[in-house]
Amino acid sequence: MESVGEVFEQLELKYCERCGGLWLRNQGEEEVYCPGCVPKMAEFPEPRRRPRVLVVAVHSLEELQGCITDWTGITREGWNA
Asked if residue 48 is part of any domain, the answer here is: yes
Rounded CA Rg of the chain: 24
3-class secondary structure, 73: coil
Domain that residue 13 falls in: 4-72
- Rounded CA gap, 75 and 81, in Å? 6
**Is residue 30 assigned to a domain?**
yes
How many structural domains is the chain composed of? 1
pLDDT band at 77 (very low <50, low <70, confident <90, very high): low
Please report whether residue 34 resides in a domain.
yes
**pLDDT tens-digit readout, 21-69:** 999 999 989 899 999 999 999 898 887 777 777 776 778 888 877 777 7
pTM: 0.48
Q: Is residue 78 part of a domain?
A: no
At 2-25, the pLDDT tens digits run: 565 566 789 999 999 999 999 999
* Inside any domain, residue 79: no
pLDDT of residue 81: 46
Please check whether residue 66 lies inside any domain of the structure: yes
Assess if residue 27 is contained within a domain. Answer: yes
